[in-house]
Amino acid sequence: MGGRMFFITCVLLVASIVSVSAEYSIDISGLEESYSVGEEIGYKVLLLEDGNLIERNVEVFFSDDLGISEIKLNVESGSENTLRVSENFSSLGWSIKARYGDKEVKRSFMVQENLEVEFSLEGGKLVIKNKGNVRYTRTVQITIGDETESYAQNIPVGGQRVWVLVAPEGSYNIEISDGIDTFTKRNIKLTSIGTGNAIGAMDENQQITGLLGGPIAPEEMDRAFIPSDKFYVAITFICAVFGLGVLLFIERRKRK
């Protein structure tokens, strides 16, 4: 009995020594230099123990170079894996890192630019959604009936901009184009109260300063609407001038 226990103890001791002395190495194969939105990233994590391929659960991290986005996965070493490049993948350098215990490996790749935009009409409003992975900065031409005007855009990834279409009451054919993508819709009813005969578009986040002038020409429409903060500055200045006038009036009455 004592001899058997001694034998078992020796076996366990040898096994523990082998386990401790096992050498691991890790690598990633199958990556390409760059990918486009919609493509699949194919990869395989290779985990070796003393030079032999083994199957283990391995942590995998996909992240962009700015550290803004990160995707964490658990995969089995030696298996084929894929990850689809979605619209949320920014156009930056990316990396994949595989980690097992204290061993890790990191490989880099690029995600190519994807310029994608969606135009839609909601009532009398044009909604421009940036569905790409870079800032949308194209100039958009808006045609209402026979009138065409150009409007600069600056929409961040995942953002949108809303334009209120302005025209005298009636039905119009609408065409939206940035030179690459074109969107058309026929017989859209527009009713723009308080804009006279102006035809064009105004940013939903801007407001008109009706105190500053008369009728607005269509080609000046985009510049005629100023941000609310500038409007408040103008009102503050007018109030300050009015207050100063009141103080001067009171001072003169006191002197009399």
For 172, other C-beta atoms within 10 Å of its C-beta total: 21
- Architecture per CATH, domain 22-111, reads as Sandwich (2.60)
Note the Cα 17 to chain centre separation in Å. Answer: 53
In single-letter form, the type of residue at position 151 comes to: Y
Residue boundaries of the structural domains of the chain: 22-111, 117-226
Helices (H) and strands (E) in the chain, counts: 3, 19
- Using CA atoms, how far apart are residues 46 and 25, in angstroms rounded to an integer? 8
Q: What count of residues does the chain have?
A: 256
Q: Which residues contact 38 (CB under 8 A, 6 or more apart)?
A: 84, 85
pTM here?
A: 0.60
Identify the pLDDT of residue 4.
60
Mean pLDDT by 10 residues, the chain (256 residues): 56 49 85 94 94 93 91 95 91 93 94 93 93 93 94 93 93 94 92 76 66 36 43 64 70 64
What's the token pair of residue 181?
């993508």
Neighbour-count burial for 23-62, b at 16+ CB within 10 Å, e otherwise: eeebebeeeeeebebebebebbbbbbeeeeeeeeebebeb
In single-letter form, the type of residue at position 180 comes to: I
What's the token pair of residue 70?
């990160």
- Architecture per CATH, domain 117-226, reads as Sandwich (2.60)
CA-based nearest residue to 156, from 117, 178, 138, 130: 130
CA-based nearest residue to 188, from 197, 204, 199: 199
Q: Do the domains 22-111 and 117-226 sit in the same CATH topology, yes or no?
A: yes
